[in-house]
Amino acid sequence: MADDVADVGGPILVGLDFNVGIMAGVICSKVQDQLHIWDEIAVKNSNTDEVGQMLRERFPHREIICYPDPTGKARKTSAAGVTDHGILRKYGLKVVAPNSPWAVKDRLNATNWLIKNAEGERRMYVHPRCKNTIKGFRSVTFKEGAEDFVVDKDPGLEHWIDGCGYLILSAMNQVKPWKTGSSKARVGQVW
């Protein structure tokens, strides 16, 4: 945590996880090779439209780049054929997401690399006002005995960590995942 983490101007980066009960996310700035998380989104019983409008009203003349859940590009019958990504774009927000979700272990590795890498360098700082994000980093765990990485959703705080992970994989990723079944890495792939 860092009290001096703040909006430094430039593009506003938003990691966003779509949920019915709560729209959750992190609001950040990229400072050289560091990620500064200086605010969070925690809007209960909301929807993508409200969050898009809230972000545009809060930052009316700024470039806002959203890194949402990749599954938000799927059309839903409840949204009259409009996707969550399309709703964000309606408010002039740029959306960056892969065509399909990356593995949870890739999200974990990329996030851990920012928290503290093998050389002991820290590249992610979180302002104390981001209570849900901090609680999430402190309490989200994986289910014991699961063959793959399965998040224990009992704490209910995984949404902020998921949103942060989507942003990190697309905007800050130094951990380059291998595509399953292929000998070619997805290094430098543009979504």
Distance CA 25, CA 38 (A): 11
Q: Name the residue with higher pLDDT: 186 or 92.
A: 92
- pLDDT for position 146: 58
Second-level CATH architecture of 12-172 = 2-Layer Sandwich (3.30)
Report the candidate in 159, 172, 69, 171 with the shortest Cα–Cα distance to residue 115.
Answer: 172
Rounded average pLDDT over 77-93: 82
pTM of the complete model beyond 0.75: yes
Cα Rg, the chain, nearest whole Å: 16
- pLDDT for position 7: 94
Q: What is the residue-wise DSSP string for 99-164?
A: SSPPPHHHHHHHHHHHH--TT----EEE-TT-HHHHHHHHH--B-TT-SS--B--TTS-HHHHHHH
